[in-house]
Structure 1
Amino acid sequence: MRYTDIAIIGGGLAGSTAAAMLGRAGIPAILIDPHTTYPPDLRCEKLGGTQLETLRKTGLADETLRATTIDGEVWEARFGYVVTKKPSDQHGVMYDTLVNTMRAQIPSSVETLYTKVVEVATSDERQRVVLADGETISARLIVLANGLSISLRHLLGLGRRIISECHSVTLGFDVVPVDRPTLPFPALTYWPKRSTDRMAYLTLFPIGNTMRANMMVYRPMDDIWFREFRENPEATMRAMMPGLDRMTGGFKVSGPIKIRPADLYVTENYRQAGVVLVGDAFATSCPAAGTGTDKVFTDVERLCNVHIPNWLATEGMDRIKIDMFYDDPVKTECDAWSTAKAWHLRSLSIDNGPTWRARRWARFIGRLAQGMMGLKNKPETRIPASLPRQESHEGRIA
């Protein structure tokens, strides 16, 4: 039997970040994950804004950001026109690169076991973890960071309640220019023309020498539109975003098109002695809203910087201690903000009520005014002299 203070189950972004932080703090920990190298996966593909602030609190930002590509500036466009150009701190990175870069920062004092967990048992004192080869680990605390996996949940009596099935769908692919060496912008966010297109936005951003595209839509997975997109992605994009060619020039989609639906769910019966859930293991977020990495970094930063050191200072690991994490005001505020943003973006994108239509136009006019003021001395940017005619259904402006 192995003994440790912390057993981390799951080596994705949350688990790897926790292992690196605990190891650097000198806290005995073991990371358990079946993948020796984290495989490609369509998840977070860029970091920015508040995510960078929280990442810096983990002490892991410098090495992590060296593996990314910063865009520096983003163009925002609709109706075939640039609405504004503004500075940007978005760092593009493929998810497997992000996780493997985080893993590389785990000190050698943290042992990584490349296997699966088949059994767990918890108590107010020590926790038992049984591996696929029969080996047993005794830990003071289990950090469950196994993402969307449903394994082990029945052993812990955890439930999963779906709030919104297939809340949004992410399409990820690469874009290359035709008859020119590069696309004319550092990064681009393009808003759809109509709310009936059921699209949030298209974002193009650099990762290394590649221009990566994430397209966020609100459609059921049996929608024939997905087949049409796979068969002719360029034509489908042009139909949903008239004037896109004004921004890009000729372009084509290269490489595989990956499609990932996202359910919004929350875990039930999670307040238990001896185990704490982080990231998607606790509750999911909407990829279109871009808050998933905020939740992961917030969960892990609060857990490893604040709560685990305090818990280990005294005997036991009862529910009173565990509740401190779930009731942490920084965590609860982040969770509530993430959920609210998921619903707000969906309504702003596809809701045709008068309030949401007014909000879309208000934001469009506001950003157009900002763009005209900031770019009036840049003749290469096309700003329309007047607003385009409002159609019967209006797409999202954000």
Structure 2
Amino acid sequence: MRYTDVAIIGGGLAGSTAAAMLGRAGIPAVLIDPHPVYPPELRCEKIGGEQLDLLRKTGLAEPTLRATTLDGEVWEARFGYVVAKKPSDQHGIMYDTLVNTVRAQIPPSVETIFAKASAIASSGERQKIEFANGDALSARLVVLANGLNIGLRHTLGIQRQVISQCHSVTLGFDVEPAGRSAFAFPALTYWPKSARARMAYLSLFPIGGKMRANLMVYRDMTDPWFQQFKQAPEATLRAMMPGLARMTGGFKVSGPVKIRPADLCVTEGHLQPGIVLVGDAFATSCPAAGTGTTKVFTDVGRLCNVYIPAWLSTDGMDAQKISQFYDDPEKVDCEARCRAKAYHLRSLSTDHGLPWRAQRWARFMVRLAQGTRHAIRKRLLARSNGPQRSAGSAGQPQHGKLA
């Protein structure tokens, strides 16, 4: 029997971040995951905005961001025309690269056990974890960060409730220009023309030397459209977004097309002594809403910076202690915002009602006004600095520029 203060089950983004944070804080911890190297998986492929601030609170930002690709500027388009060109802090990175980069920051003091946890016996003092190979580990606290793997949680009476089945579907693939070395845009977000497309948006952004595409749609997985997309992705994209070629020119989809449906789920029976759930293990998010890493960094940041040090400073690990984390105002607010954004974006993208149609047009007009103001400011600045071409303007198609 081995002993530790904190056992983390699951070595994805949530578990690896927790292991790195606890190890750097000098808290005895063990990370449990069957994969020595995290395998490729279609999940988060870019981080930006408030996620960067949350990442910095973990203390892991600097080396993590070095592994990403910053786009610097994103073009926003609708109806086949660019309506805005905005500064952007989007950092593109494949999910397995992100997880393995975070894992590389776990200090040697944190032991990693490459095994599958098969059972947990919990109590208000210590928790016993049994492995499939017959070994066992005793810990004061177990952090369940094993994402969508529900088997272990079921043995504890923790149940998952699906509140929106197949809420959204993500398609991930690479694209490359035909007959040219690069696209004209640094990054592009293309919004659908109407709700009939059953699409949230198409996002094109760089990762390394490739242009990555995330297409977010709202369709049932039995829809023959998915098979059609796999067989003829370029033609399907053009049919869905007739004006896309105005920005991209000729293009082709390179490499495999990966498809991931996402259910919105919540957890019941999770308040138990000695066990705390983080990330997708507690509640899932909608990839189209782009809030997955927001939830992970909020959960792990609050848990490792605030609650675990306080819990370990006193005896016991009863359910009352654990409830402090679930009731944390920042966590509760984050969960509510992420869920509300998921439902709002789906209705905004697919609802045919007049109020939602008005909102779509309002968003378009706001982005157009913002883009026009930004373009005017850039021109005035360029004039004040003397005649010069703006960076990245060479080779941009005239039809892609703001009026």
TM-score normalized with structure 2 length:
0.94
2:348 is aligned to: 348
Does 2:242 align with 1:238?
no
Deviations 1:62-98 (A, max 9, x none): 0100000000000000111100000000000000000
1:197 is aligned to: 197
Shift of 1:375: 1.6
2:260 is aligned to: 260
Distance 1:111 1:151 in 2: 24
Name the count of aligned residue pairs.
385
Within 5 Å, give how 1:282-297 maps onto structure 2.
Answer: 282-297=282-297
Query: Quick check: 1:70–1:89 contact (8 Å CA) kept in 2?
Result: yes
Note the residue ranges of structure 1 that are not aligned, 5 or more in a row.
386-398
After superposing the two structures, state which structure 1 stretch, 370-379 or 78-87, moved more: 370-379
SS at match of 2:70: strand
Distance 2:349 2:286 in 1: 14
Distance 2:250 2:171 in 1: 20
Does 2:126 align with 1:126?
yes
Query: Quick check: 2:17–2:103 contact (8 Å CA) kept in 1?
Result: yes
Distance 1:175 1:142 in 2: 42
Query: Quick check: 2:307–2:325 contact (8 Å CA) kept in 1?
Result: yes
Shift of 1:382: 4.2
Query: Quick check: 2:171–2:257 contact (8 Å CA) kept in 1?
Result: yes
Distance 2:37 2:137 in 1: 22
Query: Quick check: 1:375–1:381 contact (8 Å CA) kept in 2?
Result: no
Shift of 1:369: 1.4
Deviations 1:296-331 (A, max 9, x none): 000000000000000000000001100000000010
1:328 is aligned to: 328
RMSD: 1.2
TM-score normalized with structure 1 length:
0.95
Query: Quick check: 2:33–2:115 contact (8 Å CA) kept in 1?
Result: yes
Shift of 1:119: 1.0
Query: Quick check: 1:46–1:90 contact (8 Å CA) kept in 2?
Result: yes
Distance 1:383 1:60 in 2: 38
Shift of 1:373: 2.1
SS at match of 2:255: strand
Distance 1:182 1:140 in 2: 54
2:387 is aligned to: none
Query: Quick check: 2:173–2:214 contact (8 Å CA) kept in 1?
Result: yes
1:394 is aligned to: none
2:83 is aligned to: 83
State the AA in 2 paired with 1:85: K
Deviations 1:164-214 (A, max 9, x none): 000000000000000000010000000111211100000000000000000
1:180 is aligned to: 180
SS at match of 2:253: strand
SS at match of 2:84: strand
Does 2:299 align with 1:299?
yes
1:316 is aligned to: 316
State the AA in 1 paired with 2:163: I
Query: Quick check: 1:200–1:349 contact (8 Å CA) kept in 2?
Result: yes
Runs of 4+ in 1 over 4 A off after TM superposition: 378-385
Within 5 Å, give how 1:1-398 maps onto structure 2.
Answer: 1-376=1-376, 377=379, 380=398, 382=400
SS at match of 1:84: strand
State the AA in 2 paired with 1:80: G
SS at match of 1:181: coil
Shift of 1:226: 0.3
SS at match of 2:115: coil
Shift of 1:381: 6.1
Query: Quick check: 2:246–2:400 contact (8 Å CA) kept in 1?
Result: no
